[in-house]
Structure 1
Amino acid sequence: MLRTLLLGCALLAALPALADDDDDNRFGLAGLLSAGNKEDLPPITLSAGMPLADAPLELQSGTYYEIEIEADGSQELALVGPEFFRAIWIDEIVIEGLEIRPLGLDSVEFDEAGTMEVGFIAIKPGSYHLMVPGSTGETQRLEISIR
């Protein structure tokens, strides 16, 4: 019993030294959600007849991203991309200061002008897309790759 107690005390004494080991704390206290692992993406714009984005998105698996989806209200528009939404983990969706933490997502729709911010971690490598449903133009489709 005394031997176990002494061993426990020795382990407790070693804890501060273990906590100071920089190799064990590469991601910081929050791991994948830490500020050092976060990247802001260029916004997606929903506007009648306008391109969704300037260029395809290239994401890195394990990185936390934030993207704004902005609608100008010129038309009721949606974005659909179930394959993409199943390849990411959505941390939160923020709309006018309201935070939503969904278990999953298939699409989003704007009936009027507004902005939505989506925070997520890219998980499953592959090629995906978001698109305006019912559209056939390439500018109404955003190609996304996760590496």
Structure 2
Amino acid sequence: MKHGFKIALAFAGALAAAPSFAHDLGFAGLLSNTNMEELPEITLSVGKPLADGPLVLKSGSGYEIEITSDGSGELALEGPGFFRAIWVNEVVVNDLEIRPYGLESLEFDDEGTMEIEFIAIKPGNYFLRIPGSTGEGQRLDITIQ
């Protein structure tokens, strides 16, 4: 019985010495409201920049981003490296929730807005861009730290 008592005390001491997390994420874990951040909107429009500047995201944090097309042209957005570095929880289009296994690109045939909710996973430097474009404003650089 003495050995069991010593093991129990050692285990309790190890638990007490274990590091604590900076904040409790609650029942939803990574998808809780305390872990979600709304990002600036991306706008798809012929001849106009996608966004104001680069995005810096934190691995393990959740984000929501709206992507809006003004209908000035049939425009797509690609970023296979970025889409493979995140876990997509849902894509919302016209109040319809889509829960895809993954994404590689998006395309707007007409004006509209979609919202993507995701968790940043793999640190690195990525981009989203309009396919075939060469203008710097047609590309959004994204860093996951």
Q: Provide the TM-score with structure 1 as the length reference.
A: 0.83
- Per the TM alignment, residue 73 of structure 1 is displaced from its structure 2 partner at its CA by 0.1
Q: Report the identity percentage.
A: 65
List alignment gaps of at least 5 residues for structure 2: 1-19
Match of 1:26 in 2: 24
Q: After superposition, what is the alpha-carbon deviation per residue over 1:87-136, rounded to whole angstroms, capped at 9, x for unaligned?
A: 00000000000000000110000000000000000000000000000100
Query: Which consecutive residues of structure 1, in runs of 5 or more, have no partner in the other structure?
Result: 1-22
Number of corresponding residues: 125
Alignment match, 1:132? 130
In 2, the alpha carbon distance for the partners of 1:70 and 1:105 equals: 17
CA distance in 2, matches of 1:27, 1:93: 22
Helix, strand or coil at the partner of 2:132? coil
How big is each residue's C-alpha offset from its partner over 1:62-81, in whole Å with a ceiling of 9 and x where there is no partner?
00100000000000000000
Distance 2:106 2:24 in 1: 35
Partner secondary structure for residue 144 of structure 1: strand
AA at the equivalent of 1:136: T
Which residue in 2 is equivalent to 1:37?
Answer: 35
Distance 1:102 1:139 in 2: 28
Residue identity opposite 1:62 in structure 2: G
Q: What's 2:9 paired with? A: none
Question: Which of 85, 88, 91 in structure 2 is aligned with 1:90?
Answer: 88
Q: Secondary structure at the match of 1:62?
A: coil
Distance 1:126 1:138 in 2: 20
Structure 2 CA distance for aligned equivalents of residues 108 and 94 of structure 1: 12
Distance 1:27 1:113 in 2: 36
Q: Distance in 1 between matches of 2:106 and 2:27?
A: 32
**Which residue matches 2:56?**
58
Which runs of structure 1 show a deviation greater than 3 angstroms over 4 or more consecutive aligned residues? Answer: none
Equivalent in the alignment of 2:74 = 76
Q: Which amino acid in structure 1 is aligned with residue 78 of structure 2?
A: V
Cα deviation digits, residues 7-63 of structure 1 (max 9, x gap) = xxxxxxxxxxxxxxxx68811111101100010000000000000000101000000
Q: Distance in 1 between matches of 2:43 and 2:104?
A: 18
The amino acid across from 1:61 in the alignment is: S
